[in-house]
Amino acid sequence: MAHIQCSQVISAPPQALFQQLRSLSTWRELLEPHMELVVLSAPPLLDKGDEFQVELTRFGLAQNFRFLVEECSLQKMVYRQLDGIFKHWLHRMSIEPHGPEQSLLTDRVDYGLPLGLFGHLANDLFFREDLNRILQDRLDRLAELNPANPSVEAN
């Protein structure tokens, strides 16, 4: 199993950031332009025990996924793939207070690609780097959606 982890300070208090991350409409914004996300079934705001289904389209190829939210609190959101192309997929989003009106968001994805040796080779050659770029761009986009408050930065 492989994993990727990246973090970024976001100019939003933990409660506000948590509410954003519970909404799949926010996820749709964060994943553009890398992929298109279509929500097939999901509650308006994700919570522990919720299952949700999405269709992700990348490079013109659409794939359906079904996920289960295993944890959902102000400090952490964790969801696991139940159905989809990955052999294993677990995404942890941790939120920590980081100064006034800011949060440190850490994404950690544990995943496994199918196809045995070919999956490991694909991971080494391009998938790991591509996933890392998507996750980092997602954090950058989230930071853009939460611009810094000048009065907070001055402190």
Residue 153 located in a structural domain: no
Which residues form the domain of 113? 2-148
Residue 125 located in a structural domain: yes
Q: What is the pLDDT of residue 153?
A: 43
Report how far residue 77's alpha carbon sits from residue 4's, in angstroms, rounded to the nearest whole number. Answer: 16
Strand partners, 78: 71, 92
Residue 60 located in a structural domain: yes
Distance from the Cα of residue 140 to its chain's centroid: 12
Residue 11 located in a structural domain: yes
Q: What is the pLDDT of residues 8-66, one digit of tens each?
A: 999 999 999 999 999 999 999 999 989 999 999 999 999 999 999 999 999 999 999 99
- Domain CATH number, residue 13: 3.30.530.20
Residue 155 located in a structural domain: no
Task: Count up the domains in the chain and report the number.
Answer: 1
Q: What is the pLDDT of residues 94-115, one digit of tens each?
A: 999 998 899 999 999 999 989 8
| Residue 129 CB partners (closer than 8 Å, separation 6+) | none
pTM of the full predicted structure?
A: 0.90
Residue 154 located in a structural domain: no
Residue 108 located in a structural domain: yes
Q: What is the pLDDT of residues 59-89, one digit of tens each?
A: 999 999 999 999 999 999 999 999 999 999 9
For the beta sheet containing 36-41, the strands, ordered from the edge strand earlier in sequence to the opposite edge, are: 2-10, 103-112, 88-97, 76-83, 61-72, 51-58, 36-41
Q: What is the pLDDT of residue 122?
A: 80
Report how far residue 101's alpha carbon sits from residue 57's, in angstroms, rounded to the nearest whole number. Answer: 35
**Which of 5-9, 56-60, 145-149 is the least confident region?**
145-149
Q: How would residue 155 be classed by pLDDT, with cut points 50, 70 and 90?
A: very low
Would you give the DSSP letter of residue 107? E
The DSSP annotation for 109-153 comes to EEEE-SSHHHHHHHIIIIIHHHHHHHHHHHHHHHHHHSPPPHHHH
Residue 48 located in a structural domain: yes
